[in-house]
C-alpha cells in the first residue's frame, strides 16, 4: 500500500539524512517508489516550511538535493527537566495508539529525547513519571487497527474516496460504505472518523474507528470544502454527536455537585451562575442534546433540566424505564426469596403427602 504524504515526506527526510552528498530526483523517486514530480513537490513543500534543504549543481550539471545543516543532522536541542517530563507525559496520552504508525513514531521520538538526557535527568524523569497515573477506563486499543488507521490517514491526506466496512453499534452484520474522509477526532480515548457519506444522503457522519473492520483508499479524488474546519465542526457538540440544531440547554445543579461542575470547562459555550440557595445554573448552546442527556443523568437527582422541555421529558422517560427495570429485578428477587422460604418451611413442617 502506498505511503501517505506525511509518511512519504518523513521517509524522504530520512533518506536525505543518510545521503551526505545529496541525491537526485531519480534516486529519491526510485528509493521511495514514486514519481519524480511527487519528489519535487515534497521537497519544495519541506523547504517552504523551514527544513534546511538546498539544491546543488555538480559536475556535468548533475543536480542533487541535500540537508544543509550538520550533514543532515538537526541542531542539538537541550531539554530542561520539566520540558522532558512534559514530553514524556504527552506521549502517554497517545497510549491508545500503541502499535499504530503514530504510536510507533511517538515511541521513537521519546527514545531520542531520553538519549539526549543525562543520567540525572533520566533519574528525575523516571521518578516523576511514576507519580502521575493516567486512567484509561473505556479507552480504545488500536494495535489491531494499524492498517485501518493508515488507510484513513491516506484518504484524508490525499483527499481520496475511501471504502470502509463498518459495523454500527446496533448492526448484526458489517456494511460497506463509500466515504470522503475529512479527518480524525479523539474523544474519551476513542478515535472517530469524520467523513461525508454517500450512503447517508451526503451528510457528514462520525464513524468510530473501533468498528471499522477494513478500509481501502480508492483512486477517486474528492475536494474537501475550503471552509470546513474540524474544530469548528465540533464547536456545538458535547462530545462527538453532531446535529444541525441550535438548542439552549439550562441545567440546575444542586449544592453537593456544584464544586465538581465548576472545576471543569465542559463546553465552550457554557455559562455558570451561582444561585443564592447554593445551587448552580448552567447554560449551553448545542447542536444536539444526545450526549449531554447522558452526562446530566450521571448526576442523578443532583441535576435538573430546566430547558428545553423535550430534553426534560426524555430524561423523565429514561428514569421511569430505569425504575421499571429495577422493579422487575426486585420482583424476581422477591419471588426467589419467597420460593426459598416456602421450600424451607416445607422441610420444617412437611405435609401429609410428603411423608
Calculate the alpha carbon distances from 226 to 205, 222, 296, 328 in Å.
18, 12, 36, 54
- Say yes or no: 181 and 244 in one domain: no
Does the global pTM surpass 0.85? no
CATH code of 215's domain = 2.30.30.520
Mean pLDDT for all residues in the chain:
82
Could you read off the pLDDT of 105-120 as tens digits, one per residue? 777 777 777 776 667 7
Could you read off the pLDDT of 159-170 as tens digits, one per residue? 999 999 999 988
> What was the pLDDT predicted at 118?
66
Range in 33-42, 74-83, 228-237, 241-250 with the lowest mean pLDDT = 74-83
Question: Does a structural domain hold residue 137?
Answer: no
Tell me how far apart the alpha carbons of residues 5 and 17 are, in angstroms, rounded to a whole number: 18
In this predicted structure, the answer to whether residue 235 has a pLDDT above a threshold of 80 is yes
Joined grid coordinates for residue 296: 446530566
Note whether 43 and 53 are within 8 A (CB). Answer: yes
Domain encompassing residue 177: 146-233
Per-residue pLDDT, averaged over 275-297, amounts to 95
Domain boundary among 178, 199, 233: 233
Joined grid coordinates for residue 12: 524522504
Cα 108 versus chain centre, distance:
21
Share of the chain above pLDDT 90, in %: 40
Nearest-Å Rg of the Cα atoms of the chain is 29
> What was the pLDDT predicted at 71?
43
Query: Of residues 194 and 54, which shows the higher confidence score?
Result: 194
Per-residue pLDDT, averaged over 46-68, amounts to 80
- Say yes or no: 228 and 244 in one domain: no
Angle between helix axes 290-297 and 309-348 (nearest 10 degrees) is 50
- Say yes or no: 119 and 162 in one domain: no
Question: Does a structural domain hold residue 325?
Answer: yes
Amino acid at each position: 500500500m502506498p505511503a501517505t504524504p506525511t509518511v512519504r515526506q518523513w521517509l524522504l527526510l530520512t533518506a536525505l539524512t543518510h545521503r551526505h552528498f545529496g541525491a537526485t530526483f531519480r534516486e529519491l523517486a526510485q528509493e521511495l517508489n514514486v514519481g519524480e514530480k511527487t519528489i519535487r513537490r515534497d521537497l519544495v513543500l519541506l523547504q517552504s516550511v523551514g527544513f534546511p534543504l538546498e539544491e546543488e549543481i555538480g559536475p556535468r550539471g548533475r543536480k542533487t538535493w541535500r540537508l544543509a545543516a550538520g550533514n543532515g543532522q538537526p541542531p542539538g536541542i537541550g531539554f530542561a527537566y520539566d520540558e522532558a517530563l512534559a514530553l514524556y507525559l504527552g506521549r502517554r496520552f497517545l497510549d491508545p495508539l500503541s502499535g499504530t504508525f503514530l504510536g510507533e513514531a511517538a515511541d521513537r521520538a521519546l527514545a531520542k529525547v531520553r538519549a539526549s538526557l543525562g543520567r540525572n535527568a533520566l533519574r528525575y524523569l523516571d521518578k516523576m513519571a511514576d507519580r502521575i497515573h493516567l486512567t484509561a477506563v473505556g479507552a480504545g486499543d488500536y494495535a489491531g487497527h494499524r492498517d485501518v488507521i493508515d488507510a484513513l490517514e491516506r484518504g484524508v491526506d490525499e483527499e481520496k474516496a475511501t471504502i470502509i466496512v463498518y459495523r454500527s453499534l446496533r448492526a448484526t452484520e458489517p456494511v460497506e460504505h463509500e466515504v470522503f474522509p475529512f479527518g480524525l477526532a479523539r474523544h474519551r480515548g476513542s478515535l472517530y472518523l469524520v467523513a461525508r457519506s454517500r450512503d447517508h444522503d451526503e451528510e457528514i457522519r462520525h464513524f468510530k474507528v473501533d468498528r471499522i473492520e477494513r478500509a481501502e483508499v480508492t483512486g477517486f479524488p474528492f475536494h474537501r470544502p475550503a471552509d470546513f474546519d474540524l474544530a469548528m465542526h465540533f464547536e456545538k457538540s458535547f462530545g462527538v454527536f453532531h446535529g444541525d440544531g441550535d438548542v439552549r440547554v439550562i441545567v440546575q445543579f444542586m449544592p453537593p455537585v456544584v464544586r465538581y461542575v465548576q472545576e471543569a470547562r465542559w463546553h465552550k459555550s457554557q455559562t455558570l451562575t451561582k444561585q443564592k440557595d447554593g445551587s448552580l445554573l448552567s447554560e449551553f448552546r448545542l447542536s444536539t442534546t444526545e450526549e449531554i442527556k447522558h452526562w446530566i443523568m450521571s448526576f442523578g437527582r443532583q441535576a435538573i433540566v430546566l430547558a428545553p422541555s423535550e430534553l426534560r421529558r426524555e430524561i423523565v422517560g429514561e428514569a421511569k424505564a430505569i425504575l421499571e427495570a429495577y422493579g422487575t429485578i426486585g420482583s424476581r428477587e422477591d419471588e426467589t426469596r419467597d420460593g426459598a422460604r416456602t421450600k424451607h418451611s416445607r422441610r420444617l413442617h412437611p405435609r401429609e403427602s410428603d411423608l
